[in-house]
Every structure is written in C-alpha cells, then in structure tokens.
C-alpha cells in the first residue's frame, strides 16, 4: 500500500478502536482519486484527514492505524476512517456502476483486516448502538447525527451497506471476528435468578455489548432472566431464562442481530 502522510492528525490513539467508518471524498470517480485526496490531506491548511483513501484500483495510507485521524468529530478517538471516491449524493445505480463496485472490492480486504485485528463485529451499528458505545461499522453521516459535531452526510443514503458487509465477510471466509470462538470464556455453572458472582458480570457485560440494556452488577435478577429468555427465543433455544451452556456459548458465538 502506498503511503502519503497527512498533515493533520493526532499522534497516538486516544481510545481503543471500536468504529470502522465509511466516508466519501466528494471527489470524482477517477483512477487517481486516492492519490489526489491523499495529496490534498498532505498539503491543505484545513485540519482534516483519514487513515486510508481508496479508489477503484488502489488505496493510499494517509494516517497510521496507531495514530488518530481527524475525519469525523465524535468518532475520531476510537475510529478508523476510510475515504471512498465518489459523492454522498450518488444514487443506488451510481453505486452499482463498475468503478464503484471495484472500489468496494479494493476496500473490503482492509476492513476485514481491521475487523480481525480489533475484533470488530461485522455489522452496521444503529444510531442507538453507536451512541451506546458498541463496536461495529458506521458512517460519517451517523456520527454527525449522534454526536452533532459535524454536518457531513457521507457516504450518503445509497451506499450499498449490505453488499459491502458481504464482501468483507467473504474476505474472512464467512467468520465474524466479533464472535470468534477463542473469545468464549469458561462456563462454570448455570446462572439463574439469585445467582451472584463475577461470571454473572461477565455474561451481563457480554449481553450489553450485544445491545441489551441491563446493569453489570454481578447479580442475576428477574430482569436478567427475562433478557436471557428473550435472547434464547431469538436464537432458537428453549426460553428458560436460565443461562445454560448453550445460552452462554450463543452469547459469544451467535451473530449479533
């Protein structure tokens, strides 16, 4: 990967990476767009940058992953940022044209690498999940909407989110680093109403990460049992409200939906 260092960035990271963020450069879809945008980041006075710029035939590295790009206020400290060529105003048809499809294929391996390295689940965060601090993919538009510190709407309403997710998953052979098997903590005992302990907190923390709203207090109460039952039902398990081995493993291994 070519490298043209951006002029404006923060040395080091302010928080662990949790967001993989998609932007558009607001730049024509030319074969040198990545290089052109990177050169602009290297020379311009306005404080803006991204980790990588990509077009239909190559990527250019502008900021190292270990440093913080100035790409989307609110999502800089814990984000990695990728600029696609093209514009936020593109229609679905324009995203389906050959140059755009090629750009998605250029970017997918990079997102797969980021996802694996930082254990980012392969999902698009809802704005609620983004606000709640969950890990996943997001857009400059959603960061603007949630943190209200910029008004950019890239990559636009018609960016092919599901297709891009499919391309990233294909790079990883269908596995999701956010639900890696090596991540499952040891299952020690059944968790039922009244159970207390650090294993309860481990399960609660995991369920919060999956988007459930519950307290991480190490005490398995009626609300935890209700959430467990809802989760079991969602995953096709018997909704007993008791965290057994199947429910425990599913909390780490089942796709986050």
Query: Which residues here bind Zn ion, judged by CB under 5 A?
Result: 23, 140, 152, 154
Closest distance between Zn ion and the C-beta of residue 187, in Å? 43
For Zn ion, the closer CB: 51 or 140: 140
Closest distance between Zn ion and the C-beta of residue 208, in Å? 29
Instruction: For residues 244 and 228, give the distance between their C-alpha atoms in angstroms, rounded to a whole number.
Output: 10
Closest distance between Zn ion and the C-beta of residue 175, in Å? 29
For Zn ion, the closer CB: 71 or 251: 71
For Zn ion, the closer CB: 136 or 178: 136
Closest distance between Zn ion and the C-beta of residue 236, in Å? 39
* Dihedral (CA of 167, 169, 172, 178) sign: positive
For Zn ion, the closer CB: 129 or 138: 138
Opening angle at CA 201, ends 76 and 222, nearest 5: 115
Burial status of residue 201 (CB atoms within 10 A of its CB: 0-12, 13-18, 19 or more) = middle
Instruction: For residues 50 and 80, give the distance between their C-alpha atoms in angstroms, rounded to a whole number.
Output: 8
Closest distance between Zn ion and the C-beta of residue 255, in Å? 28
For Zn ion, the closer CB: 154 or 176: 154
Whose tokens are 């190559």? That residue is 58
Q: Give the Cβ contact number of residue 257 at 10 Å.
A: 8
Backbone angles phi, psi at 84, to 5 degrees: -85, 150
């Amino acid at each position: 990967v070519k490298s043209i260092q951006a002029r404006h960035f923060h040395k080091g990271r302010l928080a662990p990476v949790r967001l993989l963020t998609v932007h558009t450069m607001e730049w024509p879809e030319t074969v040198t767009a990545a290089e052109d945008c990177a050169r602009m980041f290297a020379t311009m006075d306005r404080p803006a940058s991204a980790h990588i710029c990509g077009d239909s035939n190559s990527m250019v590295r502008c900021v190292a992953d270990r440093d913080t790009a100035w790409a989307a206020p609110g999502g800089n400290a814990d984000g990695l940022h990728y600029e696609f060529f093209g514009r936020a105003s593109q229609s679905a048809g324009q995203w389906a044209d050959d140059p755009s499809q090629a750009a998605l294929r250029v970017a997918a391996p990079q997102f797969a690498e980021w996802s694996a390295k930082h254990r980012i689940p392969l999902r698009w965060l809802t704005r609620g999940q983004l606000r709640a601090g969950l890990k996943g993919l997001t857009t400059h538009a959603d960061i603007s909407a949630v943190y209200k510190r910029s008004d950019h709407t890239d990559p636009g309403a018609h960016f092919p989110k599901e297709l891009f997710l499919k391309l990233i998953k294909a790079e990883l052979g269908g596995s999701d680093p956010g639900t890696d098997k090596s991540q499952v903590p040891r299952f020690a005992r059944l968790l039922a109403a009244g159970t207390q302990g650090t294993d309860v907190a481990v399960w609660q923390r995991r369920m919060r990460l999956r988007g459930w709203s519950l307290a991480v207090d190490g005490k398995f109460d009626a609300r935890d049992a209700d959430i467990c039952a809802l989760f079991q039902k969602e995953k096709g398990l018997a909704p007993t409200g008791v965290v057994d081995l199947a429910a425990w493993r599913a909390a780490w291994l089942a796709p986050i939906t």
